[in-house]
Structure 1
Amino acid sequence: MLATRFTLFIAIMAMISSLANAFDPDPLQDFCVSVNDSKNAVFVNGKICKDPKIVIGDEFFFSGFNRPGNITSPVGSKVTRVSVDEMPGLNTLGISLERIDYAANGGLNPPHVHPRASEILYVMEGTLYAGFIASNSKDPNIRNKVFAKIMYPGDVHVFPRALIHFQMNVGETKAVAFSSLNSQNPGIITLANSLFGSAPPIDPRVLATGFQLDNNIVSDLQSRLWMQN
Structure 2
Amino acid sequence: MMILPLFFIFCLFSSSHAAVQDFCVGDLAAPQGPAGYSCKDPSKVTVNDFVFSGLGIPGNTSNLIKAALTPAFAAQFPGVNGLGISLVRLDMAPGGVVPFHTHPGGSEILIVVQGTIFAGFVSLANTVYSKTLNKGDVIVFPQGLLHFQVNAGGTLATAFASFSSQSPGLQIVDYALFGNNLPTELVAATTFLDAAQIIKLKRAFGGTG
- Distance, in Å, in 2 between the alignment partners of 1:172 and 1:222 is 29
Q: What is the CA-CA distance between 1:210 and the residue it aligns to?
A: 2.4
Relative to the length of structure 1, the TM-score reads: 0.75
SS of 2:197's equivalent in the other structure is: helix
Aligned residue pairs, count: 188
- Distance, in Å, in 1 between the alignment partners of 2:113 and 2:47 is 28
Give yes or no for contact 2:178–2:205 (8 Å, CA) kept in 1: no
Query: Gaps (5+ residues) in structure 2?
Result: 15-30
Q: Write out the 4+ residue segments of structure 1 that deviate beyond 4 Å after TM superposition.
A: 12-15
Match 2:69 to one of 65, 68, 79: 79
Match 1:153 to one of 113, 135, 148: 135
1:172 equivalent in alignment to 2:154: yes
Provide the alpha-carbon RMSD of the alignment. Answer: 2.4
- Distance, in Å, in 1 between the alignment partners of 2:108 and 2:161 is 6
Relative to the length of structure 2, the TM-score reads: 0.82
- Residues 157-194 of structure 1 show CA distances to partners (whole Å, capped at 9, x for unaligned) of 00010111011011111110000001111110010101
Identity across matched positions, percent: 39
- Distance, in Å, in 1 between the alignment partners of 2:190 and 2:89 is 33
Match 1:223 to one of 194, 203, 206: 203
Tell me what 1:44 maps to: 33
SS of 1:120's equivalent in the other structure is: strand
Q: Determine which structure has the larger strand proportion and give its number.
A: 2
Bigger radius of gyration: 1
Q: Match for 1:171: what amino acid?
A: G
- Distance, in Å, in 2 between the alignment partners of 1:47 and 1:67 is 26
Query: Gaps (5+ residues) in structure 1?
Result: 1-6, 22-41, 136-142
Tell me what 2:90 maps to: 100
- Distance, in Å, in 2 between the alignment partners of 1:68 and 1:111 is 22
Give yes or no for contact 2:54–2:70 (8 Å, CA) kept in 1: no
